[in-house]
Amino acid sequence: MGNRYQQKPDADNRRKRQPEVSKPTMMRVVQNLPPPSRLTPSATLRLQRTIGNQAVQRLLPQLTLTARVRGVVQTKLTVPNRATGLHVTRSAPTGVIQRYAAREHVRFGEVESMITPQEKKHTVKPDSPIYHPVETGESASKIATKYGISQDFLIARNAARYQVVDTPDGPKPVGFTKGDVLVLPGKTVADVASETGVSEASILASNSNTVKTWTVPITLKEFKGFDRGQTVIVSTGQMEVTHGAWASQATGQKIIKIQGIEFTYGQVIALGGDLYGDPEHMFKADKTELEALKALLVKEAKDPKSVTDDDWDLATGGRYLKLAEVNTSHYGPHDPALTPVMSKSDVNHKSEWEKYHRQALVAAQNGDKDKALGTNAFADHFLTDAFAAGHLFNKEDVMARFEKKFDAKAQETFFHDVAYSAWSKVGDKLDKYETYDTTAAKHWNISFPEYFQQLLQGIYADKDGKGTVLNMVVLMIHDDLNKQGVEVENQKGDKWSLSGDGKLNDRSLAIGRQAVAQSQVNVLNSVGKTSTLDFPALFKSVWDFTPRPTKSGVKLIDQLISRTTNPANPKTVRAAVDIIVEKIDIILKKLVERKKLKKA
Ligand SMILES: [Zn+2]
């Protein structure tokens, strides 16, 4: 709390650039307070006690106005030593929010038609047919021995040429005739099964149209098998992803049951991170809450504008916005090419995804497939966040960069500009409220931009309020990137324009779905697997799909962050003004609920 709070709300102290207080406001001011220019010294003192100066330090820091921008962000008013978590939000009018809309997360989960049983082609060796012309007196046994094959199998394969005579004691074998050309058989189903490590039943099931049945005359012993060079389909029992641009047209979702309620896989992606902090919390959540959230997810998918941040927050008892405050884990890892590493933060969407994907894999190994898939869907929230342009950078680094430049002088200029710019739009509303508690037997109206500036400065002095401003800076970058799009590439050789939250494009969807499908396959293939899993390789198989900015993308982000983290940037001021103007009703409502303000 510096001397800057000591500034008298006096006309003389107003800066030159201060806009005029609107006339109607000035006229209403008299309810409780004289306008600053007409304050007597004692009135000034009372005013300072209640609203300004020390009062600002005493009262206003308690009114933590967390005006987080763009949807995720919210206006929060808290009182120290009392219950926290009074959050209010604005709805996201433009869809430009700090997260993919729930419906977009849901779409990423639509990958069922991309996942198929893994099938390998197995060629029966030796792969060229061998024909054997029978010589005089050459027995089946001799031929079989010559080629190292079973006599019965040889006879069965060439049954049509095998001579049998009827005798009074029944049919007797004669054998092959000189000049007969025999086909040397390939492999039996049992042979192929043991060569490929799958069961005979599986080989039979995968090759029902091509497997041949040969019968030995007289004994009627049967052989099922394949000729040399024949291609046999081997289902490995593992699953695999069919990749390709067509993934944007993929259909079908896995069903995940939580507390008996059926969610689609994509719906759980949407629940993860944004609505539940960790998978355990989600699995044990209250049934009524889960049902309410499911209803909202369904509603939002039908009409994006039908569900607001308030709805999500209400349905989660305020948790949604609390989680939104600490959403660093939804942003990218440190990347000095984009912005210098200035924070020690070690959470990001990659670390978070790996943490939960690992949990899912372990659950799969333990045989709990449902839990494994549910956990994986939760994990994939962070995977799909990596497919948002506005989430490519490290959030903490950006906030630290701005904070470093936001010294006392920068703060004063900034909040002055914000308060005076917003005043013409919110002054009327602020003026209709007065302090709930009395000072000097009076309730005091928030009647002047000076008080508002002091309020804002007091708010920034508070930890939560500071977070609000820093979040706003991040959000500006986030929004710009989403609007412009960023050229990205991935380890798979894809190159495309990455869209942002609320603006998911087909290419991003297609590539993101391949990543999600691969993550599911990793889990499915680990069910009951007792051998040690190669976690880094499994992580890589999925993360290789995620985007990173190309050279030109890096340049764009680097310049944007550099520009936006400058507090003197007029765009930053305008963004703050927009937030306050948009959220003023909610700000006031919450202040009233908190018994900090009341209607005048
Ligand atoms: Zn997220």
Do 357 and 248 touch, CB atoms closer than 8 A?
A: no
C-alpha distance from residue 532 to each of 121, 517, 525 (Å): 27, 22, 13
Structure tokens that stand for 113 in this block: 């038609």
Angle 506-524/369-385 helices, nearest 10 degrees? 150
Structure tokens that stand for 124 in this block: 């029966």
C-alpha distance from residue 8 to each of 29, 58, 447, 459 (Å): 17, 16, 14, 18
CA 562 to ligand 1 center in whole angstroms = 24
CA 580 to ligand 1 center in whole angstroms = 24
CA 99 to ligand 1 center in whole angstroms = 5
CA 390 to ligand 1 center in whole angstroms = 11
Range of the domain at 222: 119-241
Q: Is residue 556 part of a domain?
A: no
CA 105 to ligand 1 center in whole angstroms = 9
Angle 551-564/395-405 helices, nearest 10 degrees? 40
What would the mean pLDDT of 539-559 be, rounded to a whole number?
97
Name residue, tokens 């006339």. 23
Q: Is residue 424 part of a domain?
A: yes
The pLDDT of residue 140 is 95
pLDDT greater than 90 at residue 519 = yes
CA 381 to ligand 1 center in whole angstroms = 6
pLDDT tens-digit map of 255-304? 999 999 999 999 999 999 999 999 999 999 999 999 999 999 999 999 98
CA 385 to ligand 1 center in whole angstroms = 5
Pairwise CA distance, residues 581 & 593, whole Å: 20
pLDDT greater than 80 at residue 207 = yes
What would the mean pLDDT of 511-532 be, rounded to a whole number?
97
**125 and 83 fall within a common domain:** no
User: Which of the four pLDDT bands, split at 50, 70 and 90, describes residue 318?
Assistant: confident
**328 and 456 fall within a common domain:** no
CA 546 to ligand 1 center in whole angstroms = 15
Domain total in the chain: 3
**448 and 389 fall within a common domain:** no
**56 and 188 fall within a common domain:** no
DSSP 135: P
Task: Report the range of poorest mean pLDDT among 23-27, 299-303, 368-372, 465-469.
Answer: 23-27
CA 576 to ligand 1 center in whole angstroms = 23
All residues at 6 or more sequence positions from 536 whose CB lies less than 8 Å from its CB, including other chains: none
**362 and 441 fall within a common domain:** no
Do 153 and 223 touch, CB atoms closer than 8 A?
A: yes
Q: Is residue 487 part of a domain?
A: no
pLDDT greater than 50 at residue 48 = no
pLDDT tens-digit map of 392-402? 999 999 999 99
**127 and 215 fall within a common domain:** yes
**371 and 275 fall within a common domain:** yes
The pLDDT of residue 550 is 98
Residue spans of beta strands (DSSP E) within 304-443 = 433-435
The pLDDT of residue 591 is 66
Q: Is residue 497 part of a domain?
A: no
Name residue, tokens 């549910």. 374
Q: Is residue 520 part of a domain?
A: yes
CA 273 to ligand 1 center in whole angstroms = 6
The percentage of residues in the chain with a pLDDT greater than 70, rounded to a whole number, is: 81
CA 519 to ligand 1 center in whole angstroms = 17
CA 338 to ligand 1 center in whole angstroms = 20
CA 593 to ligand 1 center in whole angstroms = 30
CA 276 to ligand 1 center in whole angstroms = 11
**224 and 328 fall within a common domain:** no
Greater confidence (355 vs 87) lies with: 355
In the three-class reduction of DSSP (H, G, I as helix; E, B as strand; rest coil), residue 569 is classed as: coil
User: Which of the four pLDDT bands, split at 50, 70 and 90, describes residue 82?
Assistant: very low
CA 330 to ligand 1 center in whole angstroms = 5
User: Which of the four pLDDT bands, split at 50, 70 and 90, describes residue 437?
Assistant: confident
Domain end: 220, 241, 262, which one?
241
CA 100 to ligand 1 center in whole angstroms = 7
CA 566 to ligand 1 center in whole angstroms = 26
Q: Is residue 574 part of a domain?
A: yes
pLDDT greater than 90 at residue 458 = no
CA 274 to ligand 1 center in whole angstroms = 6
Q: Is residue 560 part of a domain?
A: no
CA 271 to ligand 1 center in whole angstroms = 9
pLDDT tens-digit map of 172-188? 999 999 999 999 999 99
For the chain, what is the mean pLDDT? Answer: 82
CA 357 to ligand 1 center in whole angstroms = 16
CA 554 to ligand 1 center in whole angstroms = 22
Pairwise CA distance, residues 117 & 307, whole Å: 38
pLDDT greater than 70 at residue 5 = no
pLDDT greater than 70 at residue 431 = yes
In the three-class reduction of DSSP (H, G, I as helix; E, B as strand; rest coil), residue 7 is classed as: coil
The pLDDT of residue 99 is 67
What would the mean pLDDT of 503-514 be, rounded to a whole number?
92
pLDDT tens-digit map of 91-133? 232 222 466 778 889 999 999 999 999 999 999 988 888 899 9
Greater confidence (49 vs 222) lies with: 222
Domain end: 197, 214, 241, which one?
241
Q: Is residue 485 part of a domain?
A: no
CA 327 to ligand 1 center in whole angstroms = 7
What is the identity of the amino acid at 220?
L
pLDDT tens-digit map of 132-155? 999 998 999 999 999 999 999 999
**364 and 406 fall within a common domain:** no
CA 292 to ligand 1 center in whole angstroms = 20
* 103, containing H or E segment: helix 102-108
pLDDT greater than 80 at residue 424 = yes
**334 and 460 fall within a common domain:** no
Pairwise CA distance, residues 185 & 157, whole Å: 6
CA 366 to ligand 1 center in whole angstroms = 28
**452 and 595 fall within a common domain:** yes
What would the mean pLDDT of 162-171 be, rounded to a whole number?
93
CA 102 to ligand 1 center in whole angstroms = 9
Task: Report the range of poorest mean pLDDT among 546-550, 561-565, 568-572.
Answer: 568-572
**354 and 271 fall within a common domain:** yes
pLDDT greater than 80 at residue 57 = no
Per-residue three-class SS string for 279-325: HHHHHCCCHHHHHHHHHHHHHHHHCHHHCCHHHHHHHCCCHHHHHHH
